[in-house]
Amino acid sequence: MASYSPAATQDESNGAKPRSPDESMQLKKEISLLNGVCLIVGNMIGSGIFVSPKGVLIHSASYGLSLVVWTVGGIFSVFGALCYAELGTTITKSGASYAYILEAFGGFMAFIRLWTSLLIIEPTSQAIIAITFSNYMVQPIFPTCIAPYSANRLLAAACICLLTFVNCAYVKWGTRVQDFFTYAKVLALIAVIITGLVKIGQGRTQHFEGMFEGSSQDPGHIALALYSALFSYSGWDTLNFVTEEIKNPERNLPLAIAISMPIVTVIYILTNVAYYAILPMNAILDSDAVAVTFADQVFGVMNWTIPLAVALSCFGGLNASILASSRLFFVGSREGHLPDSLSMIHIHRYTPVPALLFNGIMALIYLCVEDVFRLINYYSFSYWFFVGLSILGQLYLRWKQPDRKRPLKLSLFFPIVFCVLSVFLVVVPLYSDTINSLIGIGIALSGVPVYFLCCYTPANRRPLRLRILIAKCGLLIQKMCFSVVTEMDKTE
């Protein structure tokens, strides 16, 4: 872990009011229990459940088995989320798996986790969410043709810039945006669920007769179906990225997870039941947007509400992703794995403006990649590997530090089961998508020389020009963003 001294605030020279001696220059605890629930639910429920829940169905080959897979995926995700609840209340740092790997296994593995997120996971996923938002927003303007490429990408860029600004302005603005769009997407799914249940109550149950007929018997296909379900449930670690900003985290972090996970699991299962009640299997498998096909059949003149709901869902999911990933870069900088300028916060707004701008710039760069959707295939292996490694770290810390204070202490059954299944999640992409998985591993390993040059090597032995460049850039960023390096919590 890197040590540093807080930079001078220069309040007086900038004309700002000097801070009181008792006020620390840290991120403020402004995320309530409700905000936490909305962050988790809003990030887990993205566009996938509206657009392409067919990944599970295509591999399971029957409605009955697919619902079983969705249920098992939800239970497994609850196990992982509970493990993160213990980790988050034991290691009270933001950064989620990065912070936990750093604590358990040291700087090298933590840096590789950070490098993978910086290079592929966060900017790629944000660019794709923004493009999906843009697709559904411009669809009504170009109903009979494909929207121009430039119009689509410019709207996606505007979406990223707007949400970056909102989160730079105040943490409360970001959480209010998140709350509103989470309510909107949940209400849209409730409308789908109620419609489906009403149709079932009216006797439309023919699609559920012999619902297990034709179920896949191939363990490989069932494994891929479960993998698709688990990928749809990803996002349950969102709140752990902002642990330091949660009010009373020892209570609200595990409680938010305990509330969110059943909500999302029930919504996912019932939404699929609604789809299956209305649409035959071939219609679901052939549809590019299942919820839109569903709405065309049952919502009549109100079918426009579903494309709007998809866009709102993407907007809320992108906001949660920006909020979480900027904290990852902020913590990585604070620990000495990224330039110090990324651990600065605005002296009045207490938001990590440089980290947010860096995150936004990276997402905008990836918007310029025409085939950005291919990049998402490269990180499945890395994502599940590092999630599993962080929970393996939970077991390691239980053994290495048995007397450490743990406000929430689970049975070892939960992390052991999750670690075993994480091996499955790491092996599946290697089996099903070998080339892309190997490329993802190569991207992760590309961080090894960067770590030894920029982190492991003492500062006085690094190239002089590199040190001068970083120092000048840091000073420029500090002045432009009106920010200073954050102070560490006295308890850490």
Residues pairing with 91 in the sheet: none
Asked whether the predicted pLDDT for residue 7 surpasses 60, the reply is no
pLDDT of residue 256: 94
Asked whether the predicted pLDDT for residue 142 surpasses 50, the reply is yes
CA distance 114 to 492: 21
pLDDT of residue 88: 93
- Where is 44: in which H helix or E strand? helix 33-44
pLDDT of residue 221: 81
Tokens 């912070």 locate to: 99
Say if residues 340 and 4 touch (Cβ distance below 8 Å).
Answer: yes
CA distance 188 to 165: 27
Angle between helices 380-400 and 97-105 (to 10 degrees): 50
Instruction: Name the percent of the chain lying above pLDDT 90.
Output: 40
Asked whether the predicted pLDDT for residue 19 surpasses 80, the reply is no
Question: Cα-flanking dihedrals φ and ψ of residue 345, to 5°?
Answer: -130, 155
Question: Cα-flanking dihedrals φ and ψ of residue 465, to 5°?
Answer: -65, -35
CA distance 161 to 400: 44
pLDDT of residue 239: 92
Whose CA is closest to 78, among 421, 338, 407, 404?
421
CA distance 363 to 368: 9
The amino acid sitting at 202 is Q
Mean pLDDT of 415-429: 86
Confidence of residue 24 (pLDDT cuts 50, 70, 90): low
How confident is the prediction for the chain on average, in pLDDT?
85
- Where is 425: in which H helix or E strand? helix 413-432
pLDDT of residue 488: 59
Asked whether the predicted pLDDT for residue 411 surpasses 80, the reply is yes
DSSP 8-state secondary structure symbol assigned to residue 147: P
Asked whether the predicted pLDDT for residue 87 surpasses 50, the reply is yes
Confidence of residue 2 (pLDDT cuts 50, 70, 90): very low
- Where is 344: in which H helix or E strand? strand 344-346
pLDDT of residue 422: 86
pLDDT of residue 22: 53
CA distance 101 to 299: 48
Burial class (CB within 10 angstroms; exposed 0-12, middle 13-18, buried 19+) of 12: exposed
Note the pTM of the prediction, 2 decimals. Answer: 0.87
Whose CA is closest to 237, among 314, 140, 307, 325?
325
CA distance 333 to 455: 11
Say if residues 43 and 259 touch (Cβ distance below 8 Å).
Answer: no
Say if residues 25 and 214 touch (Cβ distance below 8 Å).
Answer: no
Range from 200-214, 409-423, 473-487 that averages highest in pLDDT = 409-423
Mean pLDDT of 147-161: 91
Question: Cα-flanking dihedrals φ and ψ of residue 244, to 5°?
Answer: -70, -15
Question: pLDDT tens digits, residue range 222-280?
Answer: 888 888 888 788 889 999 999 999 999 999 999 999 999 999 999 999 999 999 999 88
Confidence of residue 10 (pLDDT cuts 50, 70, 90): very low
Question: pLDDT tens digits, residue range 91-110?
Answer: 989 999 999 999 999 999 99
Mean pLDDT of 108-115: 94
Question: Cα-flanking dihedrals φ and ψ of residue 437, to 5°?
Answer: -65, -40
Angle among Cα 273, 64, 270 to the nearest 5 degrees reads 20
CA distance 166 to 143: 31
pLDDT of residue 13: 41
Tokens 């700002």 locate to: 16
Question: pLDDT tens digits, residue range 277-327?
Answer: 998 888 888 877 788 888 888 888 888 888 888 888 889 999 999 999 999
Mean pLDDT of 371-393: 82
pLDDT of residue 14: 42
Asked whether the predicted pLDDT for residue 5 surpasses 50, the reply is no
Least-confidence region, from 7-16, 56-65, 335-344:
7-16
Confidence of residue 483 (pLDDT cuts 50, 70, 90): confident
Least-confidence region, from 64-68, 180-184, 287-291:
287-291
Say if residues 134 and 155 touch (Cβ distance below 8 Å).
Answer: yes
Whose CA is closest to 44, among 349, 324, 381?
324
b (16+ CB within 10 A) / e for 279-302: bebeebeebebbbbbbbeebbeee
